[in-house]
């Protein structure tokens, strides 16, 4: 199994732990990831507010470079995943956008035919690797641990390709495969505030607070996430949340970290030390 890997800016910055754990887990599962050569920022949610066609062109350059390799692309960051998929879909559906973007790509010697498939690591783990193969690799099941599976918005919305829009379950299944339990978490697809937490903290903090508080109330010892921005918002702002609302002290980890731990990979190699709220509780008993 071989895929192209689109890390995106966050996984090289604040989301380092996501990259570290993802690469470690996939390597251990025998899945080869090849980083897309000279990839650029996908444009995220911000660029769409500036220029629509250019934001498709930004993502389009990555798709064009990826297309040469003829492999599926794995985009772990939710924003990248959505932007690349949305670009793919709009280039397919709107001849006008396709014409402009492809013409622009051609000025730089690139071309895009529209054949790239953009996948999420959850999709690949469940549908390509398979839960059976994962189960065979579990060496240190996280027995007795309870987590809140938090999907956030942009991987199930607006396109539900590999999971249910209202009640996604793929991460739940992976957490269970890791030997842990999931708390019933009705907020699993509610927005974390995205980039608003940085720009309008009074709005963003409240959203993060609600998510954390409810997870804690339902007995989760950590929130498990699939997105670097969700992780950043829920993890990085907890001291401000403590000042404004209450101290929650709830670790926020990536699903790849949980899976890596259960597979017996060393905690440091999974970036476990990078949580601002210490994830020691998750490591307890190991």
Scan residues 202-221 and list those touching another protein (CB under 8 A): 202-203, 207, 210, 214
Whose Cβ is closer to another protein: residue 46's or residue 128's? 46
Whose Cβ is closer to another protein: residue 83's or residue 259's? 83
If one asks whether residue 153 binds another protein (CB under 8 A), the answer comes out as yes
Whose Cβ is closer to another protein: residue 178's or residue 220's? 220
* The only residue of 5, 81, 237, 255 in contact with another protein, by rule CB under 8 A: 237
Whose Cβ is closer to another protein: residue 117's or residue 157's? 157
* The only residue of 131, 183, 196, 267 in contact with another protein, by rule CB under 8 A: 196
Q: Which of residues 25-44 bind another protein (CB under 8 A)?
A: 38-41, 43-44
CA distance 163 to 155: 9
CA count, 13 A, side-chain hemisphere, 232:
19
**Please, what is the minimum distance in Å from the beta carbon of residue 76 to another protein?**
16
32: which 2 tokens? 């080869």
**Please, what is the minimum distance in Å from the beta carbon of residue 126 to another protein?**
20
Q: Which of residues 66-125 bind another protein (CB under 8 A)?
A: 90, 94, 97, 100-101, 103-105, 107-110
**Please, what is the minimum distance in Å from the beta carbon of residue 281 to another protein?**
17
* The only residue of 240, 245, 281, 283 in contact with another protein, by rule CB under 8 A: 240
Strand partners, 4: 34, 73
Residue 140 is given by DSSP the state S
Q: Which of residues 3-22 bind another protein (CB under 8 A)?
A: 9-10, 12-17
* Helix, strand, coil percentages, rounded to 5, for the chain: 50, 10, 40
SS (H, E, C) 148-205: EEECCCCCCCCCCCCCCCCCCCHHHHHHHHCCCEECCCCCCCCCCCCCHHHHCHHHHH
Name the pairing type of β-strands 252-254 and 222-225: parallel
Contacts 24+ apart (CB under 8 A), 110-116: 110/61, 110/64, 110/65, 111/64, 111/67, 112/60, 112/63, 112/64, 112/67, 113/67, 114/88, 115/67, 115/70, 116/63, 116/66, 116/67, 116/72, 116/73, 116/88
* The only residue of 51, 111, 128, 246 in contact with another protein, by rule CB under 8 A: 51
**3-state DSSP call for residue 4?**
strand
CA distance 79 to 205: 20
Whose Cβ is closer to another protein: residue 105's or residue 174's? 105
**Please, what is the minimum distance in Å from the beta carbon of residue 188 to another protein?**
11
* The only residue of 190, 267, 281, 283 in contact with another protein, by rule CB under 8 A: 190
Q: Which of residues 241-270 bind another protein (CB under 8 A)?
A: none
């Amino acid at each position: 199994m071989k895929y192209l890997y689109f890390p995106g800016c966050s996984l090289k910055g604040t989301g380092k732990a996501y990259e570290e754990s993802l690469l470690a887990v996939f390597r251990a599962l025998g899945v080869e990831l090849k980083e897309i050569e000279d990839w650029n920022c996908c444009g995220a949610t911000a660029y769409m507010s500036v220029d629509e066609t250019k934001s498709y062109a930004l993502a389009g350059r990555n798709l064009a470079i990826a297309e040469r390799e003829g492999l599926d692309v794995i985009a772990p960051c939710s924003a990248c995943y959505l932007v690349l998929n949305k670009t793919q879909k709009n280039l397919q559906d709107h001849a006008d956008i396709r014409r402009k973007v492809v013409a622009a790509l051609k000025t730089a010697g690139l071309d895009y035919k529209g054949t790239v498939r953009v996948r999420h690591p959850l999709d690949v783990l469940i549908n390509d690797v398979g839960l059976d193969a994962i189960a065979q690799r579990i060496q240190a099941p996280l027995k007795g641990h309870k987590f809140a599976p938090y999907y956030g918005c942009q991987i199930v919305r607006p396109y539900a390709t590999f999971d249910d829009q209202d009640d996604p379950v793929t991460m739940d299944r992976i957490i269970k495969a890791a030997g842990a339990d999931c708390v019933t978490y009705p907020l699993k697809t509610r927005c974390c505030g995205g980039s608003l937490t940085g720009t309008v903290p009074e709005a963003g903090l409240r959203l993060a607070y609600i998510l954390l508080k409810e997870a804690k109330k339902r007995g989760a010892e950590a929130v498990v996430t699939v997105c670097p921005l969700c992780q950043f918002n829920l993890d990085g702002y907890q001291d401000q949340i403590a000042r404004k609302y209450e101290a929650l002290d709830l670790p926020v980890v990536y699903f790849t970290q949980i899976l890596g731990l259960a597979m017996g990979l060393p905690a440091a190699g999974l970036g476990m030390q990078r949580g601002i709220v210490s994830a020691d509780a998750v490591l307890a008993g190991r």
